[in-house]
A = this chain, B = another copy of it.
């Protein structure tokens, strides 16, 4: 929308262009590791997310130790097999070529965690809808993702894991819950079409189907 010609990453990338350029990255990590200054700019963007009652219930664990990355990648490979084995034949064939993670190749994992006890007993705005706590943590992930895109850094959200396994891997305290493993690293390019569309897993839903006026319209 603001770029002349193809959208390319850059410190001043517009928010609309970042939203268009952003991809869930699996196969395009360059093999370089994101430097700490860039990483902290991205984490600062995450940390500026809105949160219910200003509770800021998120934390970010940065992981680069190859032993930890490999251990988690092995666990994810097991979960991938489990999912594949549960699919009907035709879906299993569509699924097989789809890469679901870049844990080791990205060089950096960021585990985003949620702490519902932060902010004490009376969190302003959380009394009627307690889930707004975890929602706040999730909002921070989208800030992180868009800032990373501006930096030419790809993010791939991995969700093929058992939560207790991940909590154990990072020594999380009881009251701190892992909500995402993000593979984070510089990319060669951003694909223009999401992987799951390119590989025929699932097509986009048109915007018109998602927008309703005054009341919810049941549509096919």
**Residues on A facing B (Cβ under 8 Å):** 1-2, 11-16, 18-20, 22, 24, 40-41, 43-45, 47-50, 52-56, 58-65, 68, 79, 82-83, 86-88, 91, 95, 98, 100, 113, 119, 122, 124-129, 131-132, 134-135, 138-139, 141-143, 145-147, 149-150, 157, 159-163, 170-173, 176, 179-180, 194, 196-197, 201-205, 207, 210-216, 218
Contacts and interface: CB of A to CB of B under 8 A. Distances in A.
Nearest to A139: B142
B54 A204 contact: yes
Contacts of A212: 59-62
A188 to B, nearest CB: 20
Given A87-B122, A129-B159, A211-B60, A11 B2 contact: yes
A11 B2 CA distance: 7
Main secondary structure, interface of A, reads mixed
Number of copies: 2
B124 A98 contact: yes
A86 B128 CA distance: 12
A195 to B, nearest CB: 9
Contact of A19 (B2, B24, B143): B143
A125 to B, nearest CB: 5
B201 A124 contact: yes
Given A159-B125, A212-B60, A150 B53 contact: no
